[in-house]
A = this chain, B = another copy of it.
């Protein structure tokens, strides 16, 4: 199904992903078991039942992590962008569902070989540990957004986050690198609501207000441009 990679050194995320922190030998071992795979928007990659058969790194597109309750309410508990990882070696993901928010390309590592590699190369495990701590940090940061911000600030924070993660250029400040550049929203209004803990109508109204204030400009429903980044940041801080 997937295509084996024969040139990690040509990889788009070579300098930012997990593998960038590895010495030559380990990076090489890793790339030997890696293969690329495309998924269309909406495809469920892992549904929370059995153990996922792979660990993966996002090459392009956005992956959403969803927690669902029996009654249907759901909360998106994470968005994984380019160079973020998805999965958990030596264990399961709990009741998490993993879905392609946009068309995506993944760098997949089949579970068993990956686990073997982890055991043979402690450095790999170290790097993964650091990435996991980073994820934990990000999750806690988002808890602040969910618990303490107004609808207006939540929406602004979300847009800010998407801009920064979509345009990330290695080692450069994303804002100065691509001012006013157009970008795609990875989520529908409903999904955005599930991410921010808001009703879709509230999302709509906040975006409308951002438009009339001249802070953003929309391009169709799924794309926009930020015209006044400092003011977007002010909104994200609840100082509108």
Contact = CB atoms under 8 A, between A and B. Distances in A.
A196 interface: yes
Contact of A73 (B125, B129, B148): B148
Interface string A130-171: 101101110111111011100000000000000000000000
Contact of A129 (B74, B94, B132): B132
A73 B122 CA distance: 40
B133 A143 contact: no
Contacts of A91: 130, 133
A197 B130 CA distance: 29
B197 A140 contact: no
A143 B78 CA distance: 10
A150 to B, nearest CB: 11
B88 A143 contact: no
A141 B90 contact: no
Stoichiometry, copies per complex = 2
A94 B73 CA distance: 32
Chain A interface residue number, banded: 35 or more
Contact of A75 (B74, B148, B197): B148
A1 to B, nearest CB: 27
A140 B78 contact: yes
B129 A125 contact: yes
Contacts of A129: 90, 125, 128-129, 132
A126 interface: yes
Given A90-B126, A119-B122, A143 B136 contact: no
Given A126-B125, A129-B132, A133-B132, A144 B88 contact: no
* Max chain B C-beta neighbours (<10 A), residue from A133, A141, A147: A147
A54 to B, nearest CB: 16
Contact of A140 (B96, B118, B128): B96
Interface string A229-240: 000000001100
6 contacts: A65-B140, A122-B122, A132-B133, A136-B139, A139-B139, A146-B197
Given A91-B130, A91-B133, 5 more contacts: A90-B126, A96-B137, A125-B126, A129-B129, A147-B197
Q: Which 4 A-B pairs have the closest CB atoms?
A: A147-B197, A77-B140, A146-B146, A139-B139
